[in-house]
Amino acid sequence: MADTQNRSRRVKLVDVALKAGVSSVTVSRTLRRPDMVSPELRQRVERAVNELAYIPSRAASVLASSRTHTIGVVISSLTNGVFADYLRALHDVFLPAGFQVLVLNSRYSPAEEERAIATLLGQHPEAMILAATDQTAHARRLLERAGVPVVQTMELSDDPIDINIGLSQCEAGYAATRYLARLGHRRIGAIAARLDSRTRSRIEGYRRAMAEAGLDTEGLVALTHRRSSVAIGAESLREVLKTAPDLEAVFCGNDDLALGVLFECGRLGIPVPGQMSIVGFNDLEYAASAFPSLTSVATPRYEMGRKSAEIVLEIIRGSGKRPVSRRIDLSFSISERQSTSRRPEADTHGAALPQVSAV
């Protein structure tokens, strides 16, 4: 019974003080400023903390120092591999600097992102980093009045809240489509899923490139609000082929869809790139390992996370001044691989191809 009672009661600061044989004030000072106490006293307190499995009260720490050493982060998905490098970069920079990264998932919903922002701000983070720029009006107000650095990433914004680090998703979709057109393809399709703001911008870029090239998009586009997957990529290709059996190339809103298109071409006996060229988006690790390897728009996700974290640390540790350029364009590149090729009859004159990085 006594053991059950002990487990049901949270260990308090006074318990650590009794265990270590010191005052509560000494325990508090040791935990907050270990350099202010002797090594022998510090060892006694640390031993008591470990034996009792004591967890310091963050609320009390905030009241005492106005510092939480935490960074709030909201991403669109915990399962989408796009955010793996991004989060790794944040942890690579913040953890050695003594900061913890609190991550919440918006699930591509502006309303859920708003709730996540409110929850994180309730924990008094020293900065907020968001993998989006299209916050709700209320979420923007919360962030504008939070009194901490706010970094919006992934997309470029014409009206950033504070600091904006990303790339133009529209320009990336435009460049990928123009790349296919300059390879000589005329029947260029586009498939996309989820249709969050970034995906919509990519498709906007596709439509702009097609219009500038004088190419029709009727029957060549398959869009769905469903969650993106390899299976959706295969299904979307079949949908487009019903209305456009003469399809020559496909721009995919992400690499999952591109992989599905590649697999479905194999099932249907469509040679890639002989009869069909495929371009993905994000250049995830498996794009280079596929067979044939996938051409994809490479986005600097690790660099985006790293630069966000470094700027935040500079503000927190320095004078609080923001960088001179508060809107930082990290751009993109096209990793050209085996899934695309020039059509024999392609026109080799005219504007140059968008710059690509051969892999």
Strands 295-298 and 333-336: antiparallel
Shared domain for 218 and 131, answered yes or no, is no
The pLDDT of 149-175, averaged and rounded, is 97
Closest CA to 76 of 199, 174, 172: 199
Shared domain for 147 and 277, answered yes or no, is no
Q: Rounded distance, CA 121 to CA 103, Å? A: 12
Shared domain for 133 and 97, answered yes or no, is yes
The CATH number given to whatever domain includes residue 162 is 3.40.50.2300
Q: How many domains does the chain have?
A: 3
Shared domain for 175 and 262, answered yes or no, is yes
The more confident residue out of 54 and 254 is: 254
Shared domain for 117 and 134, answered yes or no, is yes
Largest CA distance in the chain: 86
pTM of the predicted structure, to 2 decimals: 0.82
The pLDDT of 160-185, averaged and rounded, is 98
Q: Rounded distance, CA 164 to CA 307, Å? A: 11
Closest CA to 113 of 82, 73, 147, 146: 73
Shared domain for 116 and 242, answered yes or no, is no
Q: Rounded distance, CA 43 to CA 75, Å? A: 40
Q: Are 84 and 140 in contact, with CB atoms under 8 Å apart?
A: no
Where is the domain boundary, 15, 43, 65? 65
Q: Are 277 and 247 in contact, with CB atoms under 8 Å apart?
A: no
In eight-state DSSP terms, residue 323 is P
Alpha-helical runs (H) found in the chain: 2-8, 13-20, 24-32, 39-52, 58-65, 82-94, 110-121, 137-144, 169-182, 197-212, 230-243, 255-268, 285-289, 301-317
Shared domain for 24 and 104, answered yes or no, is no
Shared domain for 178 and 198, answered yes or no, is yes
Shared domain for 237 and 349, answered yes or no, is yes
Shared domain for 44 and 87, answered yes or no, is no
The CATH number given to whatever domain includes residue 10 is 1.10.260.40
Q: Give the neighbor-by-neighbor strand order of the sheet with 70-75.
A: 100-105, 70-75, 128-130, 150-155, 163-167, 327-329
pLDDT at 54: 83
Where is the domain boundary, 48, 65, 82? 65
Shared domain for 202 and 339, answered yes or no, is yes
Shared domain for 248 and 352, answered yes or no, is yes
Which pair of tokens denotes residue 142?
């919360």
pLDDT at 61: 57
Domain that holds residue 191: 169-298+334-358
Where is the domain boundary, 65, 89, 110? 65
Percent of the chain beyond pLDDT 90?
77
